[in-house]
Chains A and B, each alone.
Chain A
């Protein structure tokens, strides 16, 4: 499962904890589910290591607003590539000032990469082994965009 950042496959520096999994020693960057974040927010924020949240695509992003500066990673999920809720979550998170890594997970395919990048995703967990090539093809497909506001010739 290549993780694409900046167009390159990179190693995932994060440990993604299940809800029941104990916290590793401080120093290890972890992500937790949105539910666990709500429950253990204080403990997680007390750690020195980076912390991230994996948000379900039905969850509102507003409850995270106050914590955004402390989060190093937010992972948004595409259970199917055709379920587009995470696009709006991404827009709302970026609008709320989130500057950390915004990672697309789940059914992440070549033909949606550029759309995802345009709403603020900057990391992509893909199943395809040739993810770098697909990224190049996807971003090379368009140089003209009507949004957020078309460029006037």
Chain B
């Protein structure tokens, strides 16, 4: 994984000192709250319902065990001993004091971490496939490019006060685990007919109150042109993006208003001007050094199908089930990608205590070359596990409650913090996720239902990505009561789709029953081997609508 060099360290030290000075000026009254707000946001510090929230960047979802330990220390020393992993692969601490923020930043900087550009109207922390570098279906490790983008976008002089926030996701794999079509810019690596690697460039995707699937404006962009081309996209957006209405200021609205073809033309014209001026050349030495950081580790040779693992799979169905559900194919023979489920039934999705973070750090050191990933589904990943170690990893995961075999299943719920924490929320998300998990806690039933994604947002801003859940729940307020609007058929991977609203929102008291009836309808009408999403596409909302409102 990437390690800071002298330059990165020097920059981060300057940034940390600058932030300390800004906080001091705010506390002294030299900066007004209006003036300070964008500055603190660009360092990840939000003012929430009860306290400040600090969002710490986990660039492209890659963490070292050392960094994970430091997150545990910070959560314990300055917060309430736990953190929340987010849908953008970051981690949030919810109970921060402004006065402590500079010391927290300094503690994070020691392990090459920070909150830079995890908020604000700037280019946010770049996300990537959580299986980057180890996925069996990958052209190239997308983190090389995500890191180049991190550097290019950090403290960018021109793009720090954009019309609105700007999110970029990159994948190098066939199968899109990074949800690139619902980002402001999505980059998918592909090859041209000559075999050279480059990017499909998708712009204008996004969720929020106006969910839109991104449009491809360049089928194939050579890698060397990446920064110049993205600079062109950003400049066009900075100049033309709306600033008169907060809800119409994302690039998706610009792309929607001018049309994808015209957007492509505007970007191409700007890109040509950039190239005529010398372009934004990638320093080949820098690219090479970044590539070296992401070179595959030296794996020890490992048996592809260890006897002990096979024996345990036969002897213990719980282990077999966990292997089937929570591990994924690794590009290196004899290895597996292990998902640690942060959705133990009955706990807030994505939360981890300091003790659990340390236990994960231990596991990573012992069995995953010290590396951890954060998935946008709010789970953790051990990317380099020898298959022979799977029984030991399973037992260790069980000890901290992270071995629930529910990855990609109904209780692997994505949920925003909701009204329990968030100042914007209109309804709670976490309690609904917990009640659903409780209702479907029977593992045989869960597995019989099969692949199923429920996403829950506590308000229209859609941080829980409800539009792209197979079932989406959007919390709304009806005369002071929490109701949930249900959407069906959403999806965020290769065939990205926005879910369709079923009908009137259902009350908090009814929502779990309604989902259960919907699930039972699916199980009753599905054809052999058909997933919920496939059934939903085949039959539409009709049969599900009937079941949702049946008893109401």
Contacts and interface: CB of A to CB of B under 8 A. Distances in A.
B38 A82 contact: yes
29 contacts: A81-B35, A81-B161, A82-B38, A82-B121, A83-B161, A83-B243, A84-B161, A84-B238, A85-B238, A87-B161, A88-B158, A88-B239, A89-B239, A95-B277, A111-B22, A111-B35, A115-B158, A118-B157, A142-B11, A143-B10, A145-B11, A147-B152, A147-B157, A149-B281, A149-B282, A150-B283, A151-B7, A153-B5, A153-B6
A148 B156 CA distance: 9
* Interface class of chain B by DSSP: helix
A95 B285 CA distance: 26
B494 interface: no
Given A91-B158, A146-B155, A149-B283, 20 more contacts: A60-B239, A81-B35, A81-B38, A82-B38, A82-B121, A83-B243, A84-B121, A84-B158, A88-B239, A95-B273, A112-B161, A115-B157, A141-B14, A144-B14, A146-B151, A146-B153, A147-B156, A149-B280, A149-B281, A152-B283
Contact of A119 (B5, B7, B157): B157
A9 interface: no
Interface string B153-177: 1111111111000000000000000
Interface string B438-454: 00000000000000000
Interface of B: 5-7, 10-11, 14-15, 17-18, 21-22, 31, 35, 38-39, 121, 151-162, 235, 238-239, 243, 273, 277, 280-283, 285-286
Interface of A: 60, 81-85, 87-89, 91-92, 95, 109, 111-112, 114-116, 118-119, 137, 141-153
A141 B21 CA distance: 10
A150 B7 contact: yes
A150 B151 contact: yes
B8 to A, nearest CB: 8
A149 B21 CA distance: 27
A137 B14 CA distance: 12
Contact of B18 (A119, A142, A150): A142
- Of all A-B residue pairs in the complex, the 9 with the closest CB atoms, nearest first, are A84-B161, A118-B157, A144-B11, A115-B157, A87-B158, A88-B238, A146-B151, A141-B18, A153-B6
Contacts of B22: 111
Q: Which of B5, B152, B239, B283 has the most CB of A within 10 A?
A: B239
Contacts of B21: 137, 141
A152 to B, nearest CB: 5
Given A142-B18, A144-B11, A148-B280, A82 B161 contact: yes
A5 to B, nearest CB: 19
A119 B158 CA distance: 6
Nearest to A115: B157
A147 B15 CA distance: 15
A153 B283 CA distance: 12
Contacts of A118: 157
Contacts of A88: 158, 235, 238-239
Nearest to B289: A152
A112 B161 CA distance: 10
A85 B160 CA distance: 10
A150 B286 contact: yes
Nearest to A142: B14
A47 B17 CA distance: 50
A111 B43 CA distance: 13
B147 to A, nearest CB: 11
Contacts of B286: 150, 152
Contacts of A144: 7, 10-11, 14
Contacts of B31: 111
B116 to A, nearest CB: 11
B498 to A, nearest CB: 30
A98 to B, nearest CB: 13
Contacts of B18: 141-142
B14 A143 contact: yes
A85 B158 contact: no
B216 to A, nearest CB: 24
A151 B286 CA distance: 9
B313 to A, nearest CB: 48
Contacts of B280: 148-149
B112 to A, nearest CB: 14
A81 B39 CA distance: 11
Given A144-B7, A148-B280, A91 B151 contact: no
A146 B152 CA distance: 6
Nearest to B7: A153
A91 B235 CA distance: 9
Q: Which of B22, B39, B159, B281 has the most CB of A within 10 A?
A: B159
B349 to A, nearest CB: 33
Nearest to B157: A118
Contacts of A89: 239
A137 B21 CA distance: 10
B209 to A, nearest CB: 21
Contacts of B282: 149
Contacts of A81: 35, 38, 161
Nearest to B42: A111
A85 B238 CA distance: 6
A64 to B, nearest CB: 15
A115 B10 CA distance: 18
A143 B159 CA distance: 19
Nearest to B150: A146
Contacts of B243: 83, 85
Contacts of A95: 273, 277
B352 to A, nearest CB: 31
Contacts of A152: 7, 283, 285-286
Contacts of B238: 84-85, 87-88
Nearest to B37: A82
Contacts of A147: 152, 156-157
A145 B151 CA distance: 9
A147 B121 CA distance: 18
A112 B120 CA distance: 14
